[in-house]
Structure 1
Amino acid sequence: MNFRAVVLSSVAALSFGSVSYAADAIVAAEPEPMEYVRVCDAFGAGFFYIPGSETCLKIGGYVRFQTDFGRALSGTSDWNSFTRAQLELDTRSDTELGAVRGFIGLRGNADNSSDRGVNVDQAFIEVAGLKVGYFYSWWDDDLSGETDILSSNTTQYNAVRYTYTAGAFYAGIAAEELEGRLAGDVTGSFNNLGVPSAYIAKADNNVGISGTVGFAAGPVTANLIGSYDTDAENGAIRGIASAKIGPGTASIAAAWASGANAYYEESEWTVAAEYALAVNDKLSITPGFQYFGTVDVNSSGDFTGSRDAWRAGVTLDYKLAENLTTKIAANYQDIDGSRANGGGDSWTGFFRLQRGF
């Protein structure tokens, strides 16, 4: 056998072995298909489907740094700074009952070594106009500027609320737990206006009833709120109307209380107005004014005397960059009477820098 025959025989043997080996090849298992995050556009921008479900999720919040200014704002100091972290989880899904919403808002304020905890800011379930859980009441919605005082005490409650909506019109009713509220304190507490209150009404597991009606028609929006504090046996009503006029939005508000209560105790009645001027797409300037009639409260919770008060100020909002804004407010306030009774004039304000996401 010559050299050429040996080579050909070897090639043939290798080819046969290769064919035989290929017939018995091991087939690798296919990888599991990857499930990419899908955009959910059924509930607005920012929502995406939670992988493996038909529930849509939106993650949002902000980081805020703020310095407040005012007379004896923190002890003997006329200024105080804090930083806030807000995280919000908004889940929604379509069901046979309609859109079901679950919302969680977490908030933490870092002010000093004793105030760095994280608390539930809101947590509620919402479906078909029904809303149950811990959330802000209608009294939390006020004017866009930072001059007005149109609510008292906390505006967050464990509550059951139903809202009916028909086009531009809506109406709602709510039962709210006013637990642990003190509407003033005879030991020297002051309300938001800065006036001491002689009325004390502890409200453990108290019930408040609120109702509202409102509409939005083109450039005009308006709403009316009425609430009754069953423990204080007093109530309050408030109305707000806004309209786009020229390069800005003009707003007016008025409130009246039958006596000091959880919803409003700053004065027997008040009127407020502002004009939010949109200078350009980054800057807005909002001057505002508010007048308070009969600011003193006796031990029975009745408004008494003839002391009045007023405040005026201006708020500047500026967009530094996308999702980065700053807000500066300065207010002058004058209350009839001496400083010992919460009277006199004073300046208040704040500087805020906020990054939203």
Structure 2
Amino acid sequence: MNIKSLLLGSAAALAVVSGAQAADAIVAAEPEPVEYVRVCDAYGTGYFYIPGTETCLKINGYIRFQVDAGPSASSISASGGGFVDNDSSWDARTRGQVQFTAKSDTEYGPLTGVIVIQANADNATNQKTQLDSAYLDIAGFRAGLFYSWWDDGLSGETDDIGSPVTLHNSIRYQYETGDFYAGISVDELEDGPFYNGEEPNNFGVAVGLGGKAGAFTYQITAGYDTDNEEGAVRAMGTVAVGPGTLGLAAVYSSGPNAYYNKSEWAVAAEYAIKATDKLKITPGVQYYGNYGVVNAATDADFSDNNAWKAGVTIDYQIVDNFSAKVSVQYLDPENADDVTSGYFRLQRAF
């Protein structure tokens, strides 16, 4: 009886051991740990690490609704969407823009890549999506599709002192230190205006320098259009005065060209009044000397007529990242009809 009990006990022990080993053999592998998105604060707010890399990415943009009023209100500038479809005295349009900015450290400093995609809708059936910018930047060198210094202007909407087209395929070097910068760029000008019966197919060279000193900021920009063999130079500055900021600008063009073609010369002024923390009111004026281009198809030159412009722009911050803007402008060219135009805009940034 004792031998029988011993045999039964041994068999039970072997069964337990065998069962334990069998259970160990089919244990499922543990899941890989999840890699959550990490905040990247090396380049400012809004950046995060792309999982599995040391590259920081920022995504931002805006949604805009705007109603234009005035003659041919649906005519939109190159930077505004490119629609020219009717002679309506008012026109509503919508824009959505998304920007992707990627940055990573290298032995030459931060390597930056930017892609900006913009979609404009003049109405449900007339829409246009475009690459608004795409460039790389490292150690002061920038190459790709981006806006030139000639896209800059005063803070209001009255001044008219920039290029007719400011987005180019370009290569640029810009030196920056503290509150000063200086640079030079070579710009493809195929999208610029053409005169004397020839389409633009050449390039331009632009230089820019600027900075700030206390309450004063300044910028000097120049460009030479090799197609039209003409150039332009512009100077701008702002200074804090009382409850606002006074802005002054002047531009001169040797002849109609891709950098400036509105007039032979012009001067502009504005005063941006910070009325409250949310409200800014900016009246402005501009005077054009020898306004407009004549003989564009044969021997392009500026006219002998002058013009002046006056307007006001009102910006209101409704809540964080949501703003409204109203602008009304009056243009009175010599020997031509005067024009009143404007727009109302709502914009949500993110």
Q: 1 CA distance for matches of 2:219 and 2:163?
A: 18
Which amino acid in the other structure matches residue 263 of structure 2?
A: S
Counterpart Cα distance in 2 of 1:182 and 1:255: 18
Partner of 1:327: 325
Task: Provide the residue aligned with 1:134 in structure 2.
Answer: 145
1:100 aligns with 2:111: yes
User: Any conservation in 2 of the 1:325–1:355 contact (CA below 8 Å)?
Assistant: yes
The correspondence for 1:275, drawn from 271, 275, 279, is 271
* Residues 243 and 54 of structure 1, relative CA distance in 2, 3 Å threshold: same
User: Shift of the alpha carbon at 1:203?
Assistant: 4.0
Determine which of 320, 334, 337 is the counterpart of 1:336.
334
Paired residue for 1:156?
A: 167
* Contact 2:316 2:325 survives alignment (8 Å): yes
What's the secondary structure of 1:80's corresponding residue?
Answer: strand
Cα 1:331–1:14, aligned 2, differ >3 Å: closer, same or farther?
farther
What is the number of residues matched between the two proteins?
329
CA distance in 2, matches of 1:156, 1:209: 14
Aligned partner of 1:263 in structure 2 is 259
1:92 positional shift: 0.6
In structure 1, what is the equivalent of residue 308 of structure 2? 310
Which residue of 1 is the match for residue 342 of structure 2?
349
Q: Could you tell me how far 1:298 is from its partner in structure 2? A: 3.2
Query: 2:7 corresponds to which residue?
Result: none
After TM superposition, give the deviation of residue 245 of structure 1 in Å: 2.1
Partner Cα distance (2:72, 2:130) in 1: 27
Deviation digits for residues 114-143 of structure 1, max 9, x if unmatched?
531311000001000000001101110111
Unaligned 5+ segments in structure 2 are 1-10, 75-85
Query: Mean Cα displacement is larger for which, 273-282 or 113-122?
Result: 113-122
Q: After superposition, what is the alpha-carbon deviation per residue over 1:130-170, rounded to whole angstroms, capped at 9, x for unaligned?
A: 00001101110111111111123211000000001122211
**If the length of structure 2 is used for normalisation, what is the TM-score?**
0.88
User: Which residue does 2:29 correspond to in 1?
Assistant: 29
In 1, Cα distance between equivalents of 2:129 and 2:292: 36
Work out the CA distance in 1 between the residues paired with 2:197 and 2:187: 17
1:293 & 1:136 partners in 2: Cα distance?
A: 27
Write the distance in 2 (CA, Å) between the matches of 1:25 and 1:55. 44
> By how many angstroms is 1:22 displaced?
4.7
Report the counterpart of residue 281 of structure 2 in structure 1: 285
Mapped contact 1:315–1:327 kept (Cα < 8 A): yes
For 1:188, the equivalent position in structure 2 comes to none
Paired amino acid for 1:243? V
User: Is it true that 1:226 corresponds to 2:222 in the alignment?
Assistant: yes
Residues 57-107 of structure 1 deviation map (CA, whole Å, 9 limit, x = unaligned): 001111111111112434342111111111111101001221000100011
Query: What is the Cα deviation at residue 28 of structure 1?
Result: 3.7
> Cα RMSD between the aligned structures?
2.3
Q: Could you tell me the percent identity over the aligned residues?
A: 49
Deviation at 1:297?
2.9
CA displacement 1:300-351 (0-9 Å, x = unmatched): 222242x1111111111111112111110011111111xxxxx122211000
Contact 1:213 1:225 in 2 (8 A): yes
Q: 1:228 to 1:114 in 2, by over 3 A?
A: farther
Query: Equivalents in 1 of 2:157, 2:292: separation in Å?
Result: 23
Aligned to 1:120: 131
Residues in 1 aligned to 2:127 and 2:100: alpha-carbon distance in whole angstroms: 21
Equivalent residue, structure 1, for 2:65: 65
Partner Cα distance (1:138, 1:64) in 2: 24
Structure 1 SS opposite 2:340: strand
Question: Separation in 1 of the partners of 2:231 and 2:326?
Answer: 33
State the one-letter code of the partner of 2:174: T
**Aligned counterparts of 2:159 and 2:322: Cα–Cα separation in 1:** 25
2:186 aligned to 175, 178, 196, which one?
A: 175
Distance in 2, matches of 1:181 and 1:72, equals 22
Residue pairs, 1:171-250, within 5 angstroms: 171-183=182-194, 199-200=195-196, 202-250=198-246
SS in 1 for 2:105: strand
Contact 1:291/1:311 (<8 A) preserved: yes
Q: Return 5+ residue gaps in structure 1 as ranges.
A: 1-12, 184-198, 338-342
Q: What TM-score results when the alignment is normalised by the length of structure 1?
A: 0.86
From the superposition, tell whether residues 45 and 201 of structure 1 become closer, same or farther in structure 2 (CA, over 3 Å): farther
Q: Distance in 2 between matches of 1:72 and 1:303?
A: 24
Indicate the SS of the match to 2:96. Answer: strand
Deviation at 1:21, TM superposition (A): 4.3
Q: Look up the match of 1:43.
A: 43
1:87 alignment counterpart:
98
Give the letter for the 2:42 counterpart: A
